[in-house]
Every structure is written in C-alpha cells, then in structure tokens.
Chains A and B, each alone.
Chain A
Amino acid sequence: MSYSSLNFTIKVDEMDSNVKWAAFTWENVYYEISPIIDSEGNVDNTATKQECIDYLEYKKGWGDTV
C-alpha cells in the first residue's frame, strides 16, 4: 500500500502541554502516536512519518514475530 498521501500534524496533548503527538487520519481512523524527536529536541518529520507508516502496517498486518 502506498502511504504517499499520509500527512501528520504535531499537536500538544490535551492534558499535558509537555507531550506532543503526531496526529493523522488514515482510512477513517484517527491516530495519535509519539513523534520521533531528534537530538536537538525537534520533531524528525521523516522518521515520524515512517513511524506512522510502521504503526499502520502493524495495525493492519498479521505478523509472525511473537
């Protein structure tokens, strides 16, 4: 599956302003997952998008690693 149209936004947690989320919607499901932060404390957009994709793959897949 192509995830080229997947886009996330960074949002602040509703209860803890110190926490950030990578928020996105995919196939009518809304997601918030932890973004990848680089060594300077900034969101790594490339790594975070890959994290989003990895999570979607996990949610749809039936892997064999237990």
Chain B
Amino acid sequence: MPVPSTGAITLRGIFSEKNEQDYAAQNEDGESNISLRGLSENTINDTGTGGDITINTDGWLATTNTSGQTGSGIAGAPYSMSEFRGYDHDFVNVNTTASVKSGYIHNVIQGPRGGNRYTFSKGYNSDDNGTGQPSYSTPPTGAINNATIGVTANIGACNMVFASTSSFLGAGRYELEIAGTNSNSGFTTVTFTHTSLNNSVSLNRTAANYTYANGRRKWEWLIALQTFNGSPHTYGSVTSSGYTSRVFGDYNTGTGTDPNFRTNVVLS
C-alpha cells in the first residue's frame, strides 16, 4: 500500500514504500539510520547503510493520493515526512492519448484505367506520399504531443501515425509506429478522433499487419477502397477532388502542416 494520505505516518514506512513498494510492511530490511533527507533527495543515500532509491516522480499521481501533496518540493529543504503523503512508489502514470498536428499532402495522379485519382497522406511523420509513385514527396512531418502511450502501461513513443491512400490493390491505409522491442501487443484497439469534427475511426490491432525492425514496431491496416471511400474514413471518393481523411487534419487539398492539434490517437 502507498504512504497513507491521512493519519500518522512513520519514517520506516516511507522507506518500506520506496524499498519494497509497501508502506504497511514497516520493514527496514536490515538497514539502519533512515534519513529523511536521503529519502527525499535522489543524490543522498536513503539509509546510513544502503544506497539511494530514486524517487518515482509519478508517485503522487495515483487516484489513491487524496493528501494534496504533489511531490513538487520533495527534493528541497526543509524536508518533511508529510510531503510523502499519498506517495506510491510503483505507480505508473499511463498515457492512453497522443495528440497529432497533421502534416498533409494531396495529389492528383492518372488512374490505372484513365481518369484522375485523388490521393492524400495525412498525419505525423508519414513516410507515404499516398500516390504509390516514388517521384512524389511525402508530407511535412507535423507534430505530436504526449507521444508515449499505452493502456495498462506505457509501451513506447509513437513515432509515426497517418492515414493515406495506398498503392496496394486499391486500398486505403492507416499506419501506427510505436518504439519498443519486438512485441505485437500492448493494445487491443486504436481510435483516431478528429477533435473538431468528432469523426472517429477505431481499428483492432489483430486486423493489422505487424512488422518489426530496429526498435520500430509498425501496425498497418489496409482497407479496401469501397470501404475506405466515405464515412468513417474519408470525405469524397478517390475519383473526386476534395478526397481526404475524416480523422487526420483540417485540409482537403494542397500540402502543408495544420495549425492545430486535431487528431487524438487513443489506445485501449
């Protein structure tokens, strides 16, 4: 259990919380001379006989902390046991939502059976120009906030996320890249929501193709055009001007970077 938010607390209990993630254990674990300054500062040993245990700066963010303490002044004098109220040493503040300011590119190319094909690629750090032809440029990078995401634990930083038209058998595609070790896991569903238009698309992880190389995990969803054209994925169709994503970005023509963070990327 974390350090209680109310009632009497002990120095030994605070040490137990840091040492074995259990305030109630009240266990010195064979050490002696517990130091309040040592418990509070990361550069000072917690006890006279052992080393330093690094403070978890997320330790005050658990909902079980009703003390009002935030840990903001923990490392500075004067040191106070009360600053540890509500501290949960192994608490992980999971972030399920990243926010994207899209870079975008729209092009018009010749279709396979004549006529124009309107293409796009929109999102963060897209490596796809949306045309299936190497002579076209990829869109501007865009930006991302709160990139490190997860569900029960943060699984890594989102390094790439976008929607585009694809070269593959007339399909649309979404791609999500999250840094980490090789593991096709960590979430069940990703939902892209346009925060201004309230459009959203939810995609199951097990519907994606997964690849891994050099610390880059990628999930790619290929969606047949007859499904990709129209709600919930796109406005318009691949044969009409204005064809663009419903969930990434603000523009349906041209190339550039959106002025606002418009797309939430939510893992669940």
Whose C-beta in chain A lies nearest to the C-beta of B117? A66
Residues of A within 8 A of B213 (CB): 28-30
Q: Are A55 and B132 in contact (CB under 8 A)?
A: no
Given A32-B209, A55-B209, A58-B168, also A64-B112 (CB < 8 A) = yes
The yes or no answer to B77 lying at the interface (CB within 8 A) is no
CB distance from B119 to the nearest CB of A (A): 6
Q: How large is the interface on A (under 10, 10 to 19, 20 to 34, 35 or more residues)?
A: 20 to 34
Q: How far is the CA of A13 from the CA of B186 in the complex (A)?
A: 11
Q: CB within 8 A of B184: which of A13, A29, A58, A66?
A: A13
Find residues 68-118 in chain B having any chain A CB closer than 8 Å to their own CB.
109, 111-112, 117
Select one of B119, B167, B169, B185 contacting A14, CB under 8 A.
B185
Chain B CB within 10 Å — which of A14, A34, A64 has the most? A64
Q: Does B146 contact A (CB under 8 A)?
A: no
Taken together as a complex, chains A and B put the C-alpha atoms of A33 and B140 apart, in Å, by 29
Identity of the chain B residue whose Cβ is nearest the Cβ of A55 in the assembled complex: B209
Among residues of A, the one whose C-beta sits closest to the C-beta of B219 is A32
B166 contacts chain A at the CB level, 8 A cutoff: yes
Question: What is the size category of the interface that chain B forms with chain A?
Answer: 20 to 34
Segment 16-61 of A: residues with Cβ below 8 Å from B: 16, 19, 21, 28-34, 55, 58-59, 61
Find the A residue at minimum CB distance from B133.
A62
Check A31/B169 contact, CB under 8 A, given A13-B184, A14-B184, A64-B132: no
Contacts of B238 in A (CB 8 A): 66
A66-B117, A66-B238 given as contacts; is B184 within 8 A of A32 (CB)? yes
In the complex, which residues of chain B have a beta carbon less than 8 angstroms from the beta carbon of A1? Answer: none
Q: CA A47 – CA B209 in complex, angstroms? A: 16
Other-chain residue from A13, A55, A58 in contact with B206 (beta carbon distance below 8 A): A13
Contacts of A65 in B (CB 8 A): 112, 132, 167-170
